[in-house]
Amino acid sequence: MTKTNEALTPDARVVEVVLFIENEALTVSKICELTALSEEVVVDSLKQIKEVYENSFHGLALKYDNLNKSYSFAPCEDLYENLRKVYGKKVDKRLSKAALETLSIVAYKQSITRHEIDEIRGVVSDSIIRLLREREYIKVVGRKDTAGHPCLYGTTRKFLYEFNLQSISDLPKLSEIDRQRFDEEEE
């Protein structure tokens, strides 16, 4: 393990650069694939990077997403307010109530099809889904194995960042009444 005043090993430097260049969360296996390094070397490199970034005054931190079992760089939490003033806009001012409702449905029920969203909302959601995709809050995460193979939607890293969430599991829990209502509307 590296100390804070030591440089990263050459392998750790390669992993650091790959995480920076890819600009998306990467699993250990994907990092191995991109760097041609063994899993053991990649895991050790990630530990080195995490330690160096935690024990110094960097603006970035190495984040681990439990849901996707992946690593990425993100701004340090103590900088969120400064960054929000310059780069962030209030999400609720940019999105209509219908868009926030649709985004909530995708967040809580992902992976979900447009038709399933329409059934829960009771109205057609094509334009709102297009808006949420354009703003990169949701993305296609797969195809449902049914007739027509409709797209399945899920949330993105931008959604997590703008709502200050580490992962989807950080969403507020629905009360039992809300959960029943949510499930009833789906039927």
State the Cα–Cα distance between residues 86 and 83, nearest whole angstrom: 5
Q: pLDDT at position 2, please?
A: 42
Closest CA to 53 of 86, 15, 87: 15
State the Cα–Cα distance between residues 28 and 40, nearest whole angstrom: 10
Evaluate if residue 183 carries a pLDDT over 70. Answer: no
CATH 1.10.10.10 is right for the domain spanning 89-186: yes
Query: Considering the domain 10-83 in this protein, what is its CATH number?
Result: 1.10.10.10
Write down the domain spans for the chain: 10-83, 89-186
pLDDT in tens, 97-144: 888 889 989 998 888 999 999 988 888 888 899 989 988 899 999 898
Q: Taking the model in full, what pTM does it have?
A: 0.48
